[in-house]
Amino acid sequence: MQNKINKLLCIILLLSASSCQKYLDITPDGRMSMDEVWSSNTTAAAYLNYAYEPMLLSQGGTQYYWHAFLESCTDLFHDSHASDPLALISNGWYQGTLSPTYDPTTIGDNKPTLDVFWSGIRRCNVFLMNVDKAVFNDPREKIRLKAEAIVLRAYYYMELSRKYGPMPILKEPLPIDVDFSTLKRPAMQDVAGFVNESWLAVKDVPEFPWRLLNATEKGRMTKAVMLLVRARVQALSASPLWNPNHEAEKWALAKNYASEGLQLLSSNGYELYHDATLGEKSFEEYFLTPSDLGAAPRDKETILENSNLNAFYGSGFPSYINGFPQRPDAIKAGSCPTQELVDAFDMKATGLPAIDPLNRYQDAGHLNPNYVNQSGYDPLNPYVGRDPRFYATVLYNGAYSPGTGITLQTYVGGASEIRKRDVSYSPTGYYLRKYINQNSPPHQSPGTPWKRMRFAEFYLLLAEAENELNGPNQNVYLALKPVRDRAHMPNIKSAITSKEEARAYIQKEWTTEFALEEQRFWNVRRWKILDQTDKLVTGMQITKTGTNSFTYQRVPVFERKSWEARFLIFPIPNIEIAIYGAAWQNPGW
């Protein structure tokens, strides 16, 4: 796809003539005219590839500066660059520098989101308005490309909505002399309704596939992507951030969309990845292998992943930028799991939480947890008997890295001890394992494409919507069961009696299943719990007292400044406010 985009850019140039025209397509003298673009099926198809370009400019993964994950800006991870004076995403976010003139999440390879996705929406609209002028040798190709453009436009609306709130619904390109200040921002449910209309427009199109069949198509839109976009946006509209009156009909739609997505994708070959030979290690393996494409793929879970193999880790290997000091190929510890993340993993034998999900800590500093009686958790052996997803996500004291032959030493004086001002060391006492193949020798750990969307998300969306509608019941537990089964975990006990407690359990399941995958960053916002989760993070200081004996002490790591209500929704950049007017600005900015 990137090669096609580059070819198109050689013949089609979209200029920024002025602030008010920056989203408008202008063909300069001496270049191919827009009429010429639509005279050929080749250039028409290339224009749609151009509409995909924003996907390449905002890829997620470690594309945040400097090779950091967005999840480092949540309570689940803390970046080892936190004290670095450079303008990195982590220290910028921790210090509360987000403003209408500065967005630390767009420093580096990820470009300004509002500008990028608005241009993507316009390109989709230009394509849809003009593609019927082009003559295709195979008319089925045109039908498929039109469906792709409809879904791609909905995808861009999803990205804009969860970051900036609802944006005006544009179904065709605006005229060159439009007064942008006349555009009004709709309700979030209006955006959800538009996204649902997009699904209705493509659901019965036989030329539009459920899954991709070959590597050259990777990154393109499918019906599966459309269904998850629809389910995500409706859940966003139903959640407290955009549904302060708790309107049940919004949750009813969220439940229906999640349920329908599960049913339709299941009937079209999607399922959770599980390898019987790997058993409970299937979860870890899933993130170490690029998805294979075809009619009967090994990986039937991935819905959308980056098309570029190197997009996740750039030109380096994952262990370079998310390693530990004992590894000879590590240059930084990177995104380090926090104690808050570790606390979220249940006990395997009982299926019970280690600490109470509803009231996790007895103190504001998170140093005195509320342990769950009879869970099997032992504070003197905190890493024994946990959910297998813990071992697939976190490297901890005593963890073994087969590819290096190294046993991790995070205790005081150990080779990978806590250090808060050395980027090679973890400030929390934990190191990242997810997405990093610990079986690979140093300098040979290959990068893995970033998985943007996967089938498992439907189960958690369904469980959440069912609980918000009807409180804890058997349908909630049944919705959570498949993801826990894949991890070889007992299902959640049915003794939960309140909607609030069930909500806490479901949010915990989001944490353990989707840690690092950019879900937490957006979820705590739509749940409107940022002030509960993001004030501070803690770690575990370990002291070695004998050959194989240790003591464990929870310690503060960092107090952060990006937790106030205004941080729930990003500010519209001032350069855009100058175009659209002050009424567009979000609360608190």
Give the model's confidence band at 294: pLDDT under 50 very low, under 70 low, under 90 confident, else very high. Answer: confident
- Name the average pLDDT for the chain: 91
Give the model's confidence band at 110: pLDDT under 50 very low, under 70 low, under 90 confident, else very high. Answer: low
Residue 270 within a domain? yes
Report the pLDDT averaged over residues 338-359.
98
**Tally of CA atoms within 13 A in the half-sphere of 36 that contains its CB:** 8
Do 347 and 494 sit in the same domain of this protein? yes
- Give the structural domain span for 381: 75-105+264-589
Residue 254 within a domain? no
Q: What is the DSSP string of 441-473?
A: PTT-------EEEETHHHHHHHHHHHHHHH-S-
Report the pLDDT averaged over residues 458-471.
99
Do 361 and 505 sit in the same domain of this protein? yes
Do 410 and 550 sit in the same domain of this protein? yes
The domain boundary residue, chosen from 193, 220, 238? 238
pTM: 0.93
Do 197 and 329 sit in the same domain of this protein? no
Residue 445 within a domain? yes
> What is the Cα–Cα distance from 170 to 24, expressed in whole angstroms?
13
Q: Is the pLDDT of residue 53 over 60?
A: yes
CATH number of the domain bearing residue 322: 1.25.40.390
Do 272 and 183 sit in the same domain of this protein? no
Do 94 and 113 sit in the same domain of this protein? no
User: What is the count of structural domains for the chain?
Assistant: 2
Compute how many other C-beta atoms are within 10 angstroms of the C-beta atom of residue 456.
Answer: 21
Q: Where is average pLDDT lowest: 280-289, 315-324, 478-487?
A: 315-324
pLDDT number for residue 19:
26
Do 474 and 574 sit in the same domain of this protein? yes
Residue 70 within a domain? no
Do 202 and 317 sit in the same domain of this protein? no
Report the pLDDT averaged over residues 315-324.
74
Residue 244 within a domain? no
Residue 496 within a domain? yes
DSSP letter for 102, please: B
Q: Is the pLDDT of residue 447 over 90?
A: no
Residue 249 within a domain? no
Q: What is the largest CA-CA distance in the chain?
A: 78
The domain boundary residue, chosen from 190, 220, 238? 238
Do 117 and 100 sit in the same domain of this protein? no
Do 157 and 281 sit in the same domain of this protein? no
Residue 250 within a domain? no
Do 434 and 508 sit in the same domain of this protein? yes
Assigned token pair, 482 = 């498949």
Q: Is the pLDDT of residue 345 over 60?
A: yes
Q: What is the DSSP string of 369-438?
A: B-BPTTS---TTSTTSSB-HHHHHHEE-TT-EETTTTEE---STTSTT---SS-TTS-SSS-EE-TT--T
The domain boundary residue, chosen from 203, 238, 273? 238
Do 86 and 154 sit in the same domain of this protein? no
